[in-house]
Amino acid sequence: MKHTKVKDLLNSTKTLQEVTAKGWVRTFRNNQFIALNDGSTIHNIQCVVDFENTPETTLKRITTGAAICVSGELVESQGAGQKYEIQVKKLEILGDSDAEKFPMQPKKHSLEFLRENAHLRVRTNAFGAIMRVRSVLSFAVHQYFQQKGFVYVNTPIITGSDAEGAGEMFQVSALPFDNTPRTEEGKVNYKEDFFGKQTNLTVSGQLEAETYAMALGQVYTFGPTFRAENSNTSRHLAEFWMIEPEVAFNDLADNMDLAEDFIKYVIKYAVDHCADDLKFLETRLADEEKQKPQAERSEMSLLEKLNFVLDNNFKRVSYTEAIDILKDSTPNKKKKFQYLIEEWGADLQSEHERFLVEKHFKSPVILFDYPAKIKAFYMRLNDNTEPGKETVRAMDILFPGIGEIVGGSQREERLDVLIEKMKTLGIDEEELWWYLDTRRFGTAVHSGFGLGFERLVLFVTGMGNIRDVIPFPRTPQNAEF
């Protein structure tokens, strides 16, 4: 008999039907009540075993983690907390789970312990919920862009171009590492490597996506990106997924509108489609908050935070305004900031971003028009700025508890200005000949942004460490599994 998913059983409109379920035992109480989970929902279905007519040897094998198949009648449950249960007529142990050895016992495990068991942690309620929410969010990303007529573009992962400068890169090679071929000058001879040149893992698909936007109009990427930075923080991964839309004819204001609309859409989608999982994660977060001193606790529950983002406009604040606010702020005057804000041009640190978002505006903030000096070469130089105070049409979106979730800009569409900037920064024109072609042939105003997908998942699930929202995190000293 075909089995039915637990989710479908719990949503069934008929009782007293013969059903079969397959899944893993979460708990087994009183030699009688199995809580069975199959991953289709956070909820278990209770399976009531006729223990008097079940061999003792079988009962002993109903342990946490064991895979079983049960058949019986789906009936209304007498117990609290569930609508239906299965009155088991037939029970088969598919795969045992030694109670002494199974690491995922039904008790609270530390997040560190669970990370070391990343292959099994998804069998817990919390990680099941996180990964379902992550999946639904990623679908929402595709749905949002596809409905608007964007074309999904797979930009290359292995790249021969290292000019973007978004961060330290991993090198990719098929050469024998122990004994690399050398040139006459004693350098590694990349001509003998697989691609005939030095190659790296991409830090961003933006430059390639721009070439597509200048043909297809609206495009987006959603793929893995890499940073070989030794950042052992709760917000950084060496391998993470990034979403990068790029739109021809969009200026910076359009870009901010798109980013805000997009973020609200995907959060709303998760709120609408992951109610049970988010409710569980809300309780988890509330329990965690209780461990903190009163002053550090969040004023809002998880769903309140999500709804707050949905219901309010993101504050749009120029860098110059932000600097004025920060200069006048209490932590700056009382020298509580580690990096004091003394003058226009300073790069904002995480402490400043948090102050703006969490203390001053108490809202997501879009900072825009940053000093040209602290931003990337491809950003559109603002017209009519004071000499020495040149700004670019950049924007960052800052979220409470997360910090930067989006970085974007209007791109410099003027070939001469772009080449001039590249010269100043020592970026090789030859290397980016294809990128410059977009400005040589039919250039136009265009804009885009990058959103770090794991930071979004972090915000929506209320988790505190980015390593807990990706299945198998890659961080310094860790590439297990």
Structure tokens, 171:
């090198």
| Among the listed residues 246, 369, 413, 468, the single contact to a copy of itself using CB under 8 A | 413
Considering only the stretches 27-35, 287-295, 421-429, 464-472, report the one whose residues sit in contact with a copy of itself under the rule CB under 8 A. Answer: 464-472
Smallest distance from a copy of itself to CB 269, Å: 11
- CA atoms of 469 and 464, how far apart (whole Å): 9
- CA atoms of 238 and 470, how far apart (whole Å): 12
Compose the 148-167 pattern: x for residues touching a copy of itself by CB under 8 A, - for all others: -xxxxxxxxxxxxx------
Smallest distance from a copy of itself to CB 178, Å: 6
Smallest distance from a copy of itself to CB 135, Å: 4
Q: Is 115 in the site for a copy of itself (CB under 8 A)?
A: no
Structure tokens, 323:
């600097």
- Residues 422-461, interacting with a copy of itself (CB under 8 A): 434-435, 437-445
Considering only the stretches 141-149, 373-381, 384-392, 399-407, report the one whose residues sit in contact with a copy of itself under the rule CB under 8 A. Answer: 141-149
Instruction: Identify the sign of the CA torsion 125, 127, 130, 134.
Output: negative
- Residues 219-278, interacting with a copy of itself (CB under 8 A): 223-224, 226, 228, 230, 238-239, 241, 248-249
Q: Is 478 in the site for a copy of itself (CB under 8 A)?
A: yes
The amino acid at 97: S
Q: Is 123 in the site for a copy of itself (CB under 8 A)?
A: yes
Pairing verdict, β 67-76 and 199-201: unpaired
Q: Is 113 in the site for a copy of itself (CB under 8 A)?
A: no
| Among the listed residues 85, 208, 277, 396, the single contact to a copy of itself using CB under 8 A | 208
**Nearest CA-CA partner of 361 in 411, 321, 395, 410:** 321
Pairing verdict, β 391-399 and 403-410: antiparallel
Q: Is 87 in the site for a copy of itself (CB under 8 A)?
A: no
The SS3 assignment for 253 reads helix
The amino acid at 260: E
- CA atoms of 34 and 295, how far apart (whole Å): 42
In contact, 59 and 31? CB cutoff 8 Å: yes
Shorter beta-carbon distance to a copy of itself: residue 435 or 459: 435
Shorter beta-carbon distance to a copy of itself: residue 196 or 310: 196
In contact, 220 and 246? CB cutoff 8 Å: yes
Smallest distance from a copy of itself to CB 318, Å: 24
Shorter beta-carbon distance to a copy of itself: residue 201 or 323: 201
Task: Show Cβ contacts of residue 256 under 8 Å, excluding neighbours closer than 6 positions.
Answer: 314, 316, 366, 368, 395
Q: Is 360 in the site for a copy of itself (CB under 8 A)?
A: no
Q: Is 135 in the site for a copy of itself (CB under 8 A)?
A: yes
Shorter beta-carbon distance to a copy of itself: residue 91 or 122: 122
Task: Show Cβ contacts of residue 31 under 8 Å, excluding neighbours closer than 6 positions.
Answer: 49, 51, 59
Shorter beta-carbon distance to a copy of itself: residue 258 or 317: 258
| Among the listed residues 76, 83, 338, 472, the single contact to a copy of itself using CB under 8 A | 472
Q: Is 197 in the site for a copy of itself (CB under 8 A)?
A: yes
Q: Is 25 in the site for a copy of itself (CB under 8 A)?
A: yes
Number of residues that bind a copy of itself (CB under 8 A): 107
Question: What is Dmax (Cα atoms) for the chain?
Answer: 88
Smallest distance from a copy of itself to CB 434, Å: 4
Smallest distance from a copy of itself to CB 473, Å: 8
Distance of CA 283 to the CA centre of its chain: 21
In contact, 5 and 62? CB cutoff 8 Å: no
Q: How many CB atoms lie within 10 A of CB 190?
A: 19
Structure tokens, 341:
């804000």
Q: Is 61 in the site for a copy of itself (CB under 8 A)?
A: no
Smallest distance from a copy of itself to CB 68, Å: 8
Q: Is 201 in the site for a copy of itself (CB under 8 A)?
A: yes
**Nearest CA-CA partner of 360 in 331, 395, 402, 318:** 331
Burial (Cβ within 10 Å: 0-12, 13-18, ≥19) of residue 299: exposed
| Among the listed residues 14, 107, 108, 187, the single contact to a copy of itself using CB under 8 A | 187
Q: Is 108 in the site for a copy of itself (CB under 8 A)?
A: no
